[in-house]
Chain A
Amino acid sequence: MSDPLLEVSNLTATVAGFEVTHGIDLEVGEGEAVALVGRNGAGKTSTFRSIMGLTPIAGGSIRFDGEELTDLRSELIPKRGIGYQPEGRDLFTGMTVEENFRLPIWTAGDARGIDDEDAVVEDVFDLFTELENRRDAEVQNLSGGQGKMTAIGRALALQPDLLILDEPLEGLAPVVVENLKSYIREIIDRDISVLVAESNASHVPEIVDRMYVIERGEIVDSGDPDDLVQDEEIQLLMQGGGT
């Protein structure tokens, strides 16, 4: 594996005082695409939110590009180069698609060294061509797929080194899922590292280089996605059986 860009060690996250992850270890290398696969409630979102500083941690370390993130205030984490698409999209309603793309540039553009705001926004629209004719639409009027694209585009507008995508394919029609997969592959081709959470393991081999399996807040396996998806124990685990 290439040098780790993100290195999570022994991470224990808490929600309302209860531990929801227990000693998570995972790494993402520069330009690498990695998946965190697990059933709903397995701890994927809590892990991602901990990396973004949105869920408190009880212990462990999160290093990004050599810097310890757990010492930073949450708003500084995107400025270090981590873009985040949350599970529920969480778009800024009442604002247009384009405004949602511009907001991260206004808040973190200086820290990310963005000189040409318009060029970055057009670059995002160039990737998500389906959003081009919806740029002035208020985001609450978008379809599910367009909403996911807008949430990913907003994270991408930060010009991140690492993009964290939480269930980008969940709840979408098959044809939209295929579209989004191709967009994610295109993002990876741009040498942006990607960490993606998925509850449907069958999507993963087409997107990522490596995958971790999480169950009940612990990493239970990791390795090549093609092998792990074929593994009967993993399949049983994803269906709610196993240990």
Chain B
Amino acid sequence: MFESLPYHALNGVYYGFILFMIAAGLTIVFGVLGVLNLAHGELYAFGAFVAFSIVGYLTGLVAEPTGPVTALIFGAVVLVGSLAAAAVLLPVGATLEAAFVRPIYDRDDVYQLLLTYALLLILTDVMKFVWGAKPLDVGVYDGLNAIPTTELFGIDYPTYNVVVVAVGLVVFGWLVWFFDRTKTGRIVRATAIDREMATAIGVSTDRIFTLVFAMGAFFAGFGGAMVSIGPGSAYLEMGLSPLVLSFVVIVIGGLGSLRGALVGALLVGVTTQVVTPYYSELELAVPFVLMVVVLLVRPEGLYGTWGEIE
């Protein structure tokens, strides 16, 4: 019964890194701005749609893969296209923050939730207007099937999934480096820790908030682009489930904690992917049971740093 357990566990790691990329943006925005962004899932979906357009254009410039080498080139083009799609989300995030989110920082949390829910609806309609209401499934990524599988622990595993895990690790490493080592990253942390004092040493909190919201949108979009490539489709409702699971992830990991987001994402990813194939009726319950257990043991989450980036 459990012969395929290692395969499901690998899927869990893959899914965990996808969740991490989405949750990282969510936790950074919450940690610094103190805003729970309900539109984060739509930014993720937006990334997937933009990726289809950009990658569709780019792959049209290269020949269809005929062997492993050309398939790898095709894969690299897809990856670059995904990064470009996420980059499109930078100005989108910056504009949303400056135009809509900034005026309500001092308001009650309810206003923030209502506003970001409104943004969720607006973004959904924008995507419907640009790409239509039907799911996109145009075979843009079919060339990836020509890439040979990778053998991991004696299992033939899709190379694309391995690349996603590697990219997730790079994203985590980059974020830790950015917040721990760079001047800008430490200024962002200082702003998260004490907004007023940051102002009193010359930090423009408006600029920092715009930067952070744009970063959050970037990672949401990148996650959306990466996840849409696997099944090769994008659809309007695709942001809902990852958004809910990302909330679970950052609550498990500790609000505002990057390390917590990674550990939480892997816990949720592996647990759901390992349990669901055998007990499909538990699919919805598993992540929430996990969250309840963690909160009972550690109410502040595994790496609880409320309101701070760590």
Which A residues have a C-beta under 8 Å from some C-beta of B? 52-54, 73-79, 84, 86, 90, 92-95, 99, 103-104, 106-108, 111, 154, 158
Closest to A82 in B: B200
Closest to B200 in A: A84
Known contacts A75-B205, A94-B308, A94-B310; decide if A103 and B200 are in contact (CB<8 Å).
Answer: no
Residues of chain B contacted by A73 (CB below 8 angstroms): 204
Are B194 and A75 closer than 8 Å at their CB atoms?
no
Are A92 and B194 closer than 8 Å at their CB atoms?
yes
Q: Which of A77, A84, A95, A158 contacts B190 (CB 8 A)?
A: A95
B195-235: CB near A (< 8 Å → 1, else 0) gives 01111111111000000000000000000000000000000
B156-185: CB near A (< 8 Å → 1, else 0) gives 000000000000000000000000000100
Q: Is residue B187 within 8 Å, beta carbon to beta carbon, of the partner chain? A: yes
Are B186 and A95 closer than 8 Å at their CB atoms?
yes
Are A90 and B196 closer than 8 Å at their CB atoms?
yes
Q: Which of A54, A92, A93, A111 contacts B199 (CB 8 A)?
A: A54
Q: Is residue B96 within 8 Å, beta carbon to beta carbon, of the partner chain? A: no
A64 to B153, CA, bound (A): 69
Are A75 and B203 closer than 8 Å at their CB atoms?
yes
Closest to A74 in B: B199
B284-310: CB near A (< 8 Å → 1, else 0) gives 000000000000000000000100101
Known contacts A54-B196, A93-B193; decide if A78 and B202 are in contact (CB<8 Å).
Answer: yes
Are B205 and A99 closer than 8 Å at their CB atoms?
no
Q: Is residue B40 within 8 Å, beta carbon to beta carbon, of the partner chain? A: no
Q: Is residue B189 within 8 Å, beta carbon to beta carbon, of the partner chain? A: yes
Are A99 and B186 closer than 8 Å at their CB atoms?
yes
Are A92 and B202 closer than 8 Å at their CB atoms?
no
A77 to B197, CA, bound (A): 12
B contact residues, range: 20 to 34
Task: Give chain B nearest CB distance to A67 CB in angstroms.
Answer: 16
Residues of chain A contacted by B199 (CB below 8 angstroms): 53-54, 74-75
Which B residues have a C-beta under 8 Å from some C-beta of A? 183, 186-187, 189-190, 193-194, 196-205, 305, 308, 310
Closest to B182 in A: A106
Are B201 and A94 closer than 8 Å at their CB atoms?
no
Are A107 and B186 closer than 8 Å at their CB atoms?
no
Q: What are 25 sample pairs from A and B whose C-beta atoms fall under 8 A apart?
A: A52-B200, A54-B196, A75-B199, A75-B203, A75-B205, A77-B200, A78-B200, A78-B201, A84-B200, A90-B194, A92-B193, A92-B194, A93-B193, A93-B308, A94-B189, A94-B193, A94-B305, A95-B189, A95-B190, A95-B193, A103-B186, A103-B201, A104-B202, A108-B201, A111-B202
A54 to B199, CA, bound (A): 8
Are A92 and B205 closer than 8 Å at their CB atoms?
no
Are B200 and A54 closer than 8 Å at their CB atoms?
yes
A104 to B190, CA, bound (A): 11
Are B203 and A107 closer than 8 Å at their CB atoms?
yes
Known contacts A90-B197, A94-B193; decide if A75 and B187 are in contact (CB<8 Å).
Answer: no
A108 to B190, CA, bound (A): 14
Residues of chain B contacted by A103 (CB below 8 angstroms): 186-187, 190, 201
A138 to B7, CA, bound (A): 43
Residues of chain A contacted by B196 (CB below 8 angstroms): 54, 90
A75 to B204, CA, bound (A): 6
Are A79 and B193 closer than 8 Å at their CB atoms?
no
Residues of chain B contacted by A86 (CB below 8 angstroms): 197, 200
A86 to B194, CA, bound (A): 12
Residues of chain B contacted by A76 (CB below 8 angstroms): 202
Task: Give chain B nearest CB distance to A98 CB in angstroms.
Answer: 11
A239 to B54, CA, bound (A): 73
Task: Give chain B nearest CB distance to A157 CB in angstroms.
Answer: 9
Task: Give chain B nearest CB distance to A183 CB in angstroms.
Answer: 20
Task: Give chain A nearest CB distance to B108 CB in angstroms.
Answer: 15
Are B197 and A92 closer than 8 Å at their CB atoms?
yes
Q: Which of A54, A79, A94 contacts B202 (CB 8 A)?
A: A79
Residues of chain A contacted by B197 (CB below 8 angstroms): 86, 90, 92
Residues of chain B contacted by A53 (CB below 8 angstroms): 199
Residues of chain B contacted by A79 (CB below 8 angstroms): 202
A108 to B308, CA, bound (A): 23
- 10 cross-chain pairs, A with B, having the tightest CB-CB distances, nearest first: A108-B202, A107-B202, A104-B201, A90-B197, A78-B202, A92-B190, A106-B183, A74-B199, A84-B200, A75-B204
A107 to B204, CA, bound (A): 9
Residues of chain B contacted by A90 (CB below 8 angstroms): 194, 196-197
Task: Give chain A nearest CB distance to B127 CB in angstroms.
Answer: 36
What 7 new A-B contacts, CB under 8 Å, besides A75-B199, A78-B201, A99-B186?
A54-B200, A79-B202, A92-B197, A95-B193, A106-B186, A107-B187, A111-B202
